[in-house]
Structure 1
Amino acid sequence: MMEFKSKYRSRPWRKFPLFSEETLQELRKDILNYTPVNENVPAANILLIGQIGAGKSSVLNSLNSIYRGKITSRALCGSFEHSLTTTFRKYNVKDNNSGRTLKLRLCDTRGLEEEFAADVQEMSYILDGNVPDRYQFNPTSPFNTKTPGFIPSPKFEDKIHCVAFILDGSTIDVMPEKILTQIKAIQNVTNLKNIPQVVYVTKMDKVCSDVQMDPTIMFHSEAVCEAVNKTSNVMGIPRGHIYPIINYESETTLDANFDILLLQALKQTASFADDFIDDVIGSFKSTITLALFYLLKFILFFKVESPLTKNNEIEM
């Protein structure tokens, strides 16, 4: 580990697991064994949203690489003028060793652009599970109820259970106004549905050049801490919901420390998804119980007050 200088804290600004092979294997096992809190939900759906070039699809590729045991490129990614993600995808990640599929599903969307603003209603349909897997986005004709494939009555398992915004930490304070406006609009509709939100802050090597070579100093870096604080202020999201990560981009081999950062972020994201699943299903059960209570009360009242009942009582 590098020697601490003035731009690094001797004590980490966030408590974080030890960077070690043991921690990596524990996190891999935790994510692999993760099961949504309710048995009626086979997998938690995590929606990835971010500006083009922020590393949204790279998050998926990085997770897939961890469980494949090698660098992979399942989702198209790179720096282009327009989004490389043209379809809505629900990606299942399979562990190469056990052959098991993670019960944490990453959903990829079209990257946010200044030229083509995201349609809030279309995003609402994605959150509600109305949009089918592999739907082809059309910036000039947003998804609606008449679009082929529209799912009119989606199951709760098809809905989004947590939203992960992917932001470039090196440009958080110079984010284009048009992009920020889109993000805030998406946040508003997400808040209305009470869906939890987290932020994965990428490009940390541009925030602090040393973390690329030594990721273990991530939570000692003043620059990274400042980037997280700025993200919290811009997004209006608690610091504890914001995770600095390093995606695989130029690397050709896996790095255990990169993996630990992403897996820890995903573990916490799964926990928030569970909170939402538990809350919604718990609320549904309470509603059903209350409805049954009033139905029974009505039946009993009708039985007691029924003229037929009274006549029978008189005849007896």
Structure 2
Amino acid sequence: MGLSQSKPPPPPIFLDQPWRQINFGNNTTDLQYVEYYKPQAEEQQLRILLHGPVGAGKSSFINSVNSVFQNQVCRHALVQNSAQDCCTKEYRTYRIQRGNSNNFYPFVLNDMMGLKNVTRRNRRIHVKDVKRALKGHIKDGYTFNPECKISKGDRFYNRAPTENDKVHVLVCLVDANTVSLMGDDTVEAIKDVRDEAAELGIPQVAVFTKIDEAFPEINTDVKNVYKSRSLKEKIEKFSADVGIPIHSIFPVKNYHSETGVNPDVNAIILNALRHIIATGDDSLNRKLRFQV
């Protein structure tokens, strides 16, 4: 009888060393950066545009950022009940309030309709709408139509956008549960949007959402986020597919069913937000220097 060949053991769940270091718990470094952030130009605000497939968690991310600063779970942006539905039909700007004061942080987050049932036609329409948004041509309240892009005659078309209307950093949100199942047309749409943003000199960041649902080791303890081998492999594959470098991809857990905030969840949201703001600020300052 021949010797039976045993299967090699599966790779360990955890990496020997975390592939990124952040301060869990009271993340004062990232919190202070965001708290004291101020654009160089007076009255300027940094605009962050969120895009990605339907169900990726764009609205939940906005709510989660708000929750960090309000120290309670917030649900200002309407969230869909399933990945098949899309609650976001309108172009909406969200400002983040400073605690209980009437002041707001000098950055805003824009939510827009996600990609759904992607075909070559609506992919082109979606990319054109994103490009108009990047250039500041879409006003708050515009209802996206997957069958046609916004026209210059539309009352929500901004013919003369200021620097405050323009986008300074583009954030692609993807669901860690389904990122490996994205069709070619969805991947191509993300790459097309990325190309349009690059042409306009707008940097891009990606955010992996729902990491607690996709990876049991993170659901057990969110501090395992940068120790998870499977998460790192998914991020590497997504980076190779769409061209966003790994150093610009940030995994987060959004608040959804919780009734209170968690310092460790706050820490990874803050870390992502801090890098999004820093990336957009570099782009904004370059633009402002050229205008002088």
TM-score clears 0.5 = yes
- State the TM-score, normalized to the length of structure 2: 0.89
State the secondary structure of the residue aligned to 1:184.
helix
Separation in 2, partners of 1:152, 1:185: 24
What pairs up with 1:18-29 in 2 under 5 angstroms? Answer: 18-21=23-26, 23=27, 25-29=28-32
Corresponding residue for residue 162 of structure 1: 169
Corresponding residue for residue 66 of structure 2: 64
Contact 1:207–1:223, Cα closer than 8 Å, also in 2: no
Contact 1:129–1:154, Cα closer than 8 Å, also in 2: yes
Match of 1:51 among 39, 50, 53: 53
- State the TM-score, normalized to the length of structure 1: 0.82
Given the alignment of the two structures, is residue 284 of structure 1 paired with residue 287 of structure 2, yes or no? Answer: no
Corresponding residue for residue 147 of structure 1: 154
Contact 1:32–1:103, Cα closer than 8 Å, also in 2: no
CA RMSD of aligned residues (A): 1.8
Corresponding residue for residue 221 of structure 2: 214
Corresponding residue for residue 184 of structure 2: 177
Match of 1:9 among 9, 15, 18: 15
Gaps of at least 5 residues in structure 2 are 1-10
Gaps of at least 5 residues in structure 1 are 286-316
Q: How many matched pairs?
A: 277
Separation in 2, partners of 1:162, 1:230: 22
What pairs up with 1:1-316 in 2 under 5 angstroms? Answer: 6-14=12-20, 16-21=21-26, 23=27, 25-36=28-39, 38-40=40-42, 42-78=44-80, 79-114=82-117, 116-117=122-123, 118-285=125-292
* CA apart distance, 1:198: 0.3
Task: Choose between structure 1 and 2 for higher RCO, CA contacts under 8 A separated by at least 6 residues.
Answer: 2
Contact 1:83–1:112, Cα closer than 8 Å, also in 2: no
Separation in 1, partners of 2:42, 2:183: 41
Identical-residue share of aligned pairs (%): 27
State the secondary structure of the residue aligned to 2:284.
helix
Structure having the higher Rg: 1
Separation in 2, partners of 1:163, 1:41: 21
Separation in 2, partners of 1:155, 1:30: 26
Separation in 2, partners of 1:227, 1:80: 19
Deviation string for 1:125-160 (max 9, x for gaps)? 111111111222222332121111321111111100
Contact 1:172–1:230, Cα closer than 8 Å, also in 2: no
Contact 1:170–1:227, Cα closer than 8 Å, also in 2: no
Separation in 1, partners of 2:83, 2:179: 19
Deviation string for 1:68-125 (max 9, x for gaps)? 2211111111215342101101110102245431112100000111155443222211
User: Residues 213 and 98 (structure 1 numbering): CA distance in 2 closer, same or farther, change over 3 Å?
Assistant: farther
